[in-house]
Amino acid sequence: MPEVLINPQVDSSLNTFSYLDGIVYPDKPELEEFLKTHQEDVPLIQYACNVAINVFQGSAQLSLEVKQDPESLHIMLLLMVRQEHYSEDLDEIRNKIKTIRRICTSSGFIDADDFLVMADGQPPLEL
């Protein structure tokens, strides 16, 4: 299991995540607003981001994005995994995402209803 650190000073700003190299934030104001209303999920989000960085080891772009489900209108935070070139077998990415979920669950961090790790098959965002 990769070594995973959690920033001990949890707050609702992106400063909480400043120690995590390798995560991009396409819409910082929207993300900060989400974190303000979901402060209880910040340790889980930090942990999952750090696990993802260790699992993907620079082979994918990792971004935190706030999205609204078009059917339920539920707002959630996604840790998106994107690559420039996807292998023909997307099972490798799915397995890595399952590894992230398994590590987070086995470490006492259960999945929050408002936070998901997923890949959409798209290339990395241009920021």
Domain count, the chain: 1
Query: Is 30 within the bounds of a domain?
Result: yes
Domain-embedded: residue 2: no
Expressed as residue numbers, the domain containing 58 is 14-119
Residue 81 CB partners (closer than 8 Å, separation 6+): 52, 56, 60, 61, 62, 93, 96, 97, 117, 118, 119
- Note the pLDDT tens digit of each residue in 41-99: 888 888 888 888 988 888 889 999 999 989 999 898 999 999 887 776 677 888 888 88
Identify whether 21 is part of a domain. Answer: yes
Q: Residue 17: name the closest of 59, 48, 61 by CA.
A: 48
Say what the pTM is: 0.79
Within a domain: 9:
no
